[in-house]
Amino acid sequence: MAVNIFKKFAEGLSKTKNDLSGKLDNLFKIHSKIDDELLDELEEILITSDMGVESTMEIIDKLRKTVKDEKLKDHQSILSTLKKHLKEAIMAGESFDDSTLQTPMIILIVGVNGVGKTTTIGKLAHRYQSMGKKVLVAAGDTFRAAAIDQLQIWCERAGVDIIANKEGSDPAAVIFDSIQAAKARGTDILICDTAGRLHNKKNLMNELNKIFRVVEKEYDEKHKQVYLVLDATTGQNGIIQAKTFKEVAKIDGIILTKLDGTAKGGIIIPVQKELNVPVKYVGLGEKLDDLQLFDPNNFVDAIFE
Ligand SMILES: Nc1nc2c(ncn2[C@@H]2O[C@H](COP(=O)(O)OP(=O)(O)O)[C@@H](O)[C@H]2O)c(=O)[nH]1
Ligand SMILES: [Mg+2]
């Protein structure tokens, strides 16, 4: 199992890994000595993989100190120390294990259009179902008929039930109906899709608040999670989106999708650090089982394999 999960990370992050290892090989070829110049260039490499200026500077400062204190002399020990510091930097958040999720649980999936919400719901439904949970999905994105159809297809794939109404119907009403159905059926986990139209903050706030009010009547804090989906390929832009969502809702976790589609997987570090919200899951491809619990060890090992 553990080997399998690492393999998923390694495959999903291969673009980032290839990019980094090419640059590191080059760096170590040019700078055989461990000196300030090498560390400066290493800093630049990490920044270009989207690890964020602030985070990278902290990590490199730490590395510089370790190089001095422990008199590191070779490339291999630089690399292993860097990995250690990176893991520590990411570990700062608590580790998350969804096998202990409180049930009944409602999970609201929010995020702008195209980031991968619907796809992620299919993957999450499959994941929880495989863990033996009874799952129900709510088609809360009612703005386009295609969105409902797409969710329906994912639910068929995952083998879970879906509650949907027609295009244009009130999202909060769909969520209300889904909650009633979940209670009647003894559902463990109800996962709700939402529309991601981010025309303006006020609009978003109104729509989400209507849904939150319905949810809050039935579920307390312990039985409710709001996950924000961010597309890793959008880099810094994703962080800006997240800040807007944070202003209108309490976000419990981030799901970072499409890591397989970018060479800049380092974005996960500023995402956690700047938003101060833990990354709970990562999307590593388009198949049902391409969603993994975020694991800092696997992540760092996979990008510096
Ligand atoms: N490569 C890759 N593509 C993804 C991933 N997650 C979602 N996608 C793709 O992103 C596109 C938008 O996804 P969708 O779920 O419709 O986004 P939504 O508008 O937020 O609901 C689709 O083509 C998905 O197949 C992922 O982890 N990796
Ligand atoms: Mg969608």
Adjacent-strand bridge partners of 226: 108
Q: Check if 111 has its Cβ closer than 6 Å to any atom of ligand 1.
A: yes
pLDDT, tens digit (0-9, with 9 covering 90-100), for 204-217: 888 899 999 999 99
Question: Which residues does 280 contact at the CB level (< 8 Å), separation at least 6?
Answer: 96, 98, 227, 252, 253, 254, 255, 293, 294
Looking from the CA of residue 284, the nearest atom of ligand 1 is 27
Tell whether the model's pLDDT for residue 30 goes beyond 80: yes
Query: What is the band of 147 on the pLDDT scale with cuts at 50, 70, 90?
Result: very high
Asked if the bond preceding 104 is cis, omega within 30° of 0, the reply is yes
CB contact at 8 A, 197 and 204: yes
State the pLDDT confidence band at 100, using cuts at 50, 70 and 90.
confident
Predicted local confidence at residue 70, as pLDDT: 95
Q: Looking at per-residue confidence, does 199 or 60 come out higher?
A: 60
Reading the block at residue 62, the tokens are 């730490």
First to last CA, the chain: 19
Cα of 144 to ligand 2 centre, how many Å?
9
> Looking at ligand 1, which atom is closest to the CA of residue 261?
1
Residue 164: pLDDT band (50, 70, 90) is very high
Please choose, from the candidates 297, 263, 267, the residue with its C-alpha nearest in 3D space to the C-alpha of residue 14: 263
Whole-number pLDDT of residue 196: 84
Q: Does 116 contact ligand 1 (Cβ within 6 A)?
A: yes
Q: How far is the CA of 2 from the centre of ligand 1 (A)?
A: 26
pLDDT tens column, 228-285: 999 999 998 999 999 989 998 899 999 999 999 999 999 999 998 889 999 999 999 9
Ligand 1 atom 26 nearest Cα = 258
Q: Which of 119, 255, 257, when mutated, tests ligand 1's pocket best, judged by the most ligand atoms within 8 Å of its CB?
A: 119
> Residue with the nearest Cα to atom 5 of ligand 1?
258
What average pLDDT does this structure show over 183-189?
A: 98
**Sign for the pseudo-dihedral over CA of 39, 260, 118, 134:** negative
35 vs 198, residue with greater confidence: 35
- Residue 148's identity, in one-letter code, is I
Per residue in 43-76, pLDDT (tens digit) is 999 999 999 999 999 999 999 999 999 999 999 9
115 lines ligand 1 (CB under 6 A): yes
Instruction: Note the pLDDT of residue 3.
Output: 63
Chain-wide mean pLDDT for the chain?
93
Instruction: Report the pLDDT averaged over residues 110-128.
Output: 96
Whole-prediction pTM value? 0.95
